Chains A and B, each alone.
Chain A
Amino acid sequence: MATQNQVNTYISNIKSLLSFYGNKVATMNQQGNEPGFPKELKFMLLQAYVEIAENYLSEWDSTTDDNYMTVAEFEEILDHINAICNSEYWLDLT
């Protein structure tokens, strides 16, 4: 099961992913190479998933079951982040 340090590192990593992705979209815009609707949409979704992850993990407690969703459902949020960013960050919360 993930330690608090691993949780903190994960949050730091996905926030870094968000800024990396945002910078990529911004750079494409600045260079006149419009990123296109889908990439902008994925950027918006990524922001939402990063916030959900932060909110969920801020209240995560392996001994209670009073969070927004189950651990299995939360893992789908991690999957979304990895699918958008083509990354492989993961947390073992069980």
Chain B
Amino acid sequence: MALGLSLSATQSNDATYLTVTDATGETAATGWGVGGNEDYTDIVSVALSAPGQYLLYLTVTVTDKDGTETSYDAIDLYALAETDGTTVPFAATTDLTWTIDASDLVSGTTAMGTSSDKLTDGIYKLSYSLYSISGAATVDTYDVYHLVDGDSTIDVYDALRELSQQYDNEINDESRTIMEALLKYTYLLSIQKADIDSEQSRIINMLWTLDKINSDSSKYSW
């Protein structure tokens, strides 16, 4: 059976990076090196490329809260590992994990941000692909969607944290502040619990609205 790539991703709590990890494995029939499948030990960078070897890429497309779609240049994962100090050539599946920050996401000559900037909130389409140099063709591509909502999450958590702890006075005098924080929190939970594959337009709509409430507050008088 042919190689079947797989990938998982998690975002850091401070919203500055994604950790993407190969989930292809090497035991199933679709795994690395199984039954003559391509092997991760033969992966090189574009700079090192030679016949018989492979290139491993991650292409990221971000749909932000405004619905604007930005496609970033393909990331050469061998070269990224080399830069980040990970073992190369890849010698074990545990080497197949990468940290992607805003400086790694470059569209033309413009990066999303610096390595310490927060990632833009939105839906990230991660396309993980293996390219055969000698075959001059893509061997396999695996697409997965990932919600990045760290910036919004931090804003909502801050709104809840900054509430007065004098609840009874607060509730009597300033219930609006509490209700606004709870409304933001409800939006956040709804975004996080939505199905990333089938409810993307709803997620984007809620992200946009949450952002507006975070910056301008809601229109409710409470």
Which A residues have a C-beta under 8 Å from some C-beta of B?
A: 37-38, 41-42, 44-45, 48-49, 52, 55-56, 59, 65-69, 73, 76-77, 79-80, 83-84
Contact = CB atoms under 8 A, between A and B. Distances in A.
B153 A68 contact: yes
Contacts of A73: 158, 161
Nearest to A38: B171
B178 interface: yes
By size class, the interface of chain B is: 20 to 34
Interface in B151-195: 153-154, 157-158, 160-161, 163, 165, 167-168, 171-172, 175, 178, 181-182, 185
Contact of B14 (A48, A49, A55, A68): A68
A83 B167 contact: yes
B interface SS class: helix
- 3 closest A-B pairs by beta carbon, nearest first, are A66-B14, A38-B171, A83-B165
B45 interface: no
Contact of A68 (B154, B175, B181): B154
Contacts, number: 62
Contact of A45 (B12, B154, B160, B172): B160
A75 B165 CA distance: 13
A84 B182 CA distance: 15
Interface string B24-61: 00000000000000000000000000000000000000
A69 B154 contact: yes
A73 B162 CA distance: 9
Contacts of B160: 45, 48-49, 52, 77, 80
Contact of B161 (A41, A59, A76): A76
Contacts of B12: 59, 66
B132 interface: no
A63 to B, nearest CB: 14
